[in-house]
Structure 1
């Protein structure tokens, strides 16, 4: 007999949260946007690392804190000039 693949508990492991994979995907996309925005901003290097760590460790809470408290307008780079 051919071996059967046991996928219980593995196939949907990445689909967490109330919305399953959709919510997780939306949060991931927003987190990536924050990472890019932080990295191209004119913040000091330590601040960039701390913001990225916060959002990485707390994807949803970090996003909320970033958008509420990061003073984004003051740190916008205004374009895509090289780092």
Structure 2
């Protein structure tokens, strides 16, 4: 499985999840910044952190199976998945270099 195939699959999964998201009704507009009405500000923060994790996982040097498992864990359990990823993923061991070579 190539990187482009994996990235296209994750993008399609993300777009599909956004397409089936519950719409905000007009009754919920009075309470739109609080929890329970589509997420509000807290939901936006969790979404941004999830996207950061997806990008970090896809850019890592893990095997495609490991990438898929981590992305599914974070996708299916957004808050708990973030916590589990940051505690148990051993990010330093799988981090790719920045691509720059140090000067002598």
TM-score using structure 1 length: 0.74
Among 41, 49, 63, which residue is 1:30 paired with?
49
Name the CA distance, whole Å, in 2 between partners of 1:69 and 1:78.
Answer: 21
Q: Whole-Å Cα distance in 2 between the matches of residues 64 and 77 of structure 1?
A: 22
CA distance in 2, matches of 1:8, 1:63: 31
The TM-score, its normalising length taken from structure 2, stands at 0.60
Contact 1:15 1:24 in 2 (8 A): no
2:75 aligned with 1:75: no
Q: SS of 1:35's equivalent?
A: helix
Higher RCO (Cα < 8 Å, 6 or more apart): 1
What is the RMSD of the two structures over their aligned residues, measured on CA atoms?
Answer: 2.5
Cα deviation code 1:5-44 (max 9, x no counterpart) = x8335x58x86737x4110000000000000000000000
Count of aligned residue pairs for this structure pair: 72
SS of residue matched to 1:54: helix
Max radius of gyration: which structure? Answer: 1
Quick check: which one's helix share is greater? 2
Question: 1:45-66: per-residue Cα shift (whole Å, max 9, x none)?
Answer: 0000000000000000000000
Aligned to 1:3: none
Stretches of 4+ moved more than 6 A in 1?
Answer: none
Unaligned runs of 5+ in 2: 1-24, 100-104
Do 1:42 and 1:75's aligned partners in 2 also have CA atoms closer than 8 Å?
yes
